[in-house]
Structures are given as structure tokens and as C-alpha cells.
Chains A and B, each alone.
Chain A
């Protein structure tokens, strides 16, 4: 008897720890994650995908926020009611049914709550989303991207041809693309521009002596091809033809002498791209390699990362518009060869307002411009230029106007107000020359980001970016180009007056 109990106890000693371990690591198993990309006519959004059990899930509220404006929600212990524009959506925990406007829709897997977040299976995107937004939703099962509304993704085909000492990759695109290439960790990355791309296949199978693998990836919202060379030391020469639709990339073994003095992978900028290259978010933008004597202009694209700022129709986000505009203004200013440009944020990140001011003050700029887009009423497009207004009635004192060695961080802008206002006037004059745009007289605002900038500083706000006004003029490349040119001219005027 005792022997029997002992044997059972031994079995227990093994079984119980196993059960405990399984329970502990059950949660950890769901932590594996990657992303899902939603393409809208003017923007793309990335949401994390999480594996729970055997199915992949996306966070419900994040998805709904992309396709519309969540007006309100009621969360109970095991159910969630959401009001999205005219719709009412109801989900229950561990239930496969979703109730949309009193109609039941069955999902492939039950709704789950994970870490306090309501999660729906990927199947929600094809089964339920078209009922909610009444717009076409194109989603290919197994892929990690969906196209919502009037989005026509481009596609591509490729072939490989042998050339002396190498291989030639020929990529044929269905639409004109704006290419940029880079090399990362011994791989070549071809960024396919900002337009959505739907590859024909999930995996590309081929055999080539120089190219080991081609992989399409848009997990960060930027469509790109990642090429893995078969061996180190190959040179990569991509070239886009005049039509902008065919890319020829030669991968060749360098001649022995060349190989010795050159780094193994060369990155060549793509010539022949018709549109000016827009700095893709997330890509490093080094300062222009200009001489040290050039005056500095600091450009600040408002918001970033989780802080998307204002939101327009079709899911256009303030952070994306201003990043795009800053890239254009940067290009326009660099083209003059008169300025060095410093950006306060590169890619989709959100430095604090003090960090932005610190970047500016460290660069000792000629001017600081922060870009925003928000609600400016129904007259669109409209531009307002602001200078800093101290929030309390305190006017700059004599001490502020003639600073000593140390300038108080919190009130650094006060001593610069007069020059900031001059620059604001110069900008307003030039913006007024853009046709079809309503330009208000320079205004003042208690803008937090301007407060600590120790240089002439202005905020430029474009409008209207709200859900009830058509915001498409703001994303128009021509409009953004005109703004960029106006800024270049205004800076010339301002500098002329200073000297």
C-alpha cells in the first residue's frame, strides 16, 4: 500500500509541475506577433496581429478607428458595444457572433479579450467590415493586408536573366513606381514607393546562382522587396527605365581589383524616377552634405507614432500629412543649396515637445517651422501661420528681450518674438500667392512647442483636417509643392530684410 502511494506520489511530482508550466506559459504562447496593413485611398495603417490559440487576431478598436470614428462604447464584463458613425457593433467574449445593426454575422473564431484588449479573428475583415463601412474591402485570405475603398493596388512580375559574371533581375510593375534602394545587413531592399502593392504570390520560387531569395514585405506599411544575395561581395546596380515601370537590377561579381577597395554591397540611388523622391517614414535622413557655413532651417513635423494628431476623411492622419509636407519642404530648401536642414523627427516617431525644442536650439537655426493640420472651419484649403503667445498676460520684459548668458528654457521664445512675427508675415505674404487657398493674417497661439525655441519660430497649420470636411486638397502633391516653394521664397525675403 505504502509502496503504491509512493509510486503515485512520484507520478504526481512529474505531472503537477508539467501542468503548472503549461498554465504559466499558455499566455506567453500568444505573444508571438506581427502586423496587418490596411490601405486606404490616402493612407496606410498598421495594426499588430496576435496569435491566440490556432487563429490570428487583430485588436477590434484599432481596426474600427482606421475605418471610421468611434463615437462611443460601453464595455461590460463580457460584452462590448461600439457606436461607429451610424452603426452599432456588439461583440461578446468567447462568442463567434458579431451583431452589426441587429444583424448577426458569424466569424471563424470566437472574439477574445487579451490583456484588456478586445480581439477579433482576421476573418472579421472580410466577413464583418464590409457590413460596417459599406465600402469595398479587398482582402486575400492568408495575406496580411487589406484594401479599403477605392484603392487599386499595383502588382509586379519578375524574371531573372544570366549576364556575364552575374544575374539580371527584371521587375515589371503594373503602375509607375517611385523607387528607392538601400542595403541592410547584407541584403538589398527595394522600396516600392508609397502606393499599395499586392504581390501575385506569397512566396517566390526560383533558382539562381547569385540571388538566393526574394521576399515581399509591407509589415511596416511600406511596400518593399528584400533581396538576399547568394554570397557576400556582389555588387548591386538597380536602374529604373524611363517609363518608371521596369526595374533592371544587375547583381554582378566585382572584378578582383575593384572588390578589394570597395565595400561588398553598393547602394545606388535610382535615376530616372520622375517624381521627386519623398523621404519614406522610418528611413534615415542624414543632414545635407553642405558646407558648414550654411544657415540651418529646422523643420518639425508635428505628432508621430501613437499620437496621430487630427484625423480627416478617409482616415488621413495629421502625422502623415505633415511628414509628407516636411519631406517636400526639405527637398525644396535643399535644392537651393542655401540651407542645411535639420529634422526634429525622422520617420514615425514622437519625440517630446522639449526634445524637439532641444534639437532646434542645438542646431542654432535661422528659423524653426513646425507643421500641423487641424480643424480650420469649412473653407478648405486654408493656411494659418502662428507665432507664440504667452498663455498668461505677461508680456516680454526687458530682461527677456536682452538675454544674458543664460536664457530661461521655459521662456526662450519671448526674446525672439519680434523676429518670429516678421517671418510669419513673410510666410503669410507668400502663401497668399497660392491660388485657391484662404490665408488668414498671422495669428498668435499658446503653442507649447514654440515656447522653448531660441530662434525665430512659427507654426504652420493647414486645414481643414476633420472628419466632416473634404481634406483631399491637403494631400495633393501640387498643393504641397506650392507651399514648399512659398516657404523658400519667404525665407529669402526674411533673410533679405534681416541683412
Chain B
């Protein structure tokens, strides 16, 4: 089964926050909850760069590993979803998450945080009815055959969503056009398909993609 992923092309992100707004609108998240954020590094300097981040639906998700209630599950598409009926708002997923994705509606004494909320890849979550699903988790665009709204609405197509293979191909094409090194893709043509090789490739890809030509 193919894995659904997000990729954000930092060379294209113009920090318009359109993804943030699109997400907020599609999912009608509670006041103060913003599932997607845009991080800008070196703001105002020539080296300024922005990138849109939300839950990245990790293969080996740290949130799933530390959750005391085991409220997370991974769909066949590789999307990490959580059950708000099981969530106790302990905050562990936030401590473990590399991307600061989990958010809580409140943060009060005695660890009262309410139910955790995070990006669902516009795939809803466990609920009995569609109304309940929308109320708890927001849109389920995946069920309608649509991609997450943030990526669909990205004006510069910096933020992309889709199956891993498609995204890698698209990204490789872009890097080729920019004259960036494509070394990372070379071993993929060999039969080095182990997880270690894939991780190595990702590292090299990240390096190549950030190198100036």
C-alpha cells in the first residue's frame, strides 16, 4: 500500500499562510487551534527561508510510541489518526513530536488540557456518524477522494500532498530543473530497498535540495 505524505518545497514557500487558513477553514478547528504553522528561519535576512509544518504522519511516529492510552492508529494509507474518546490530554505526544503538531484546547492546573487536536491529513477520525466525525476531527476529504485542502490550495505548489512515489518524482523533477544534485535517487534504482538505504537517501536528498547551485 502506498504511503501518503506531505512535502514542503522550501524554495517555493512564500510564507503566505494560505495553507494555515485553508486548514482552519476545512476543519473548523476550535479557537486557538491551528493545525498547520509556517516557520520562517532568518526572517528578514537574505537567507530567509519558510516552510509549512503540520503533522507529518511519521512512519515510526513518536506520538504513537509514548501515548499512555494508545489512542493513535495508522491507516492503510500511512496516515496517523487519533481517537479523541481515548485521549486523556496528558501532553506526552506533544513532548515527543518532532514537529510540534499536537495541540490542546486549554492548558490549566492539574494537567487539564482537554482532548488533543492535530492534522488528520483531512482524513477525519474514528466516530459513529459523519456529523460526529466532522465535529471532532474536521473534514474527511480522503473519503471523498480529495487531498488535504492545505496542499490543494497552496498557490506556489510548495506544499504538496500525495503518495510518496508521486511526491518524490515531482520533487526530483524540480531539483533537476534547478540543477541540484540528484545523487539521492541513484541507489533507488538498485535493489537497495532496505529502510536504512531509504533513510540515507532522504538525508542526501535533503542535503541536495538545500544546496545552492
B is a partner of A: no
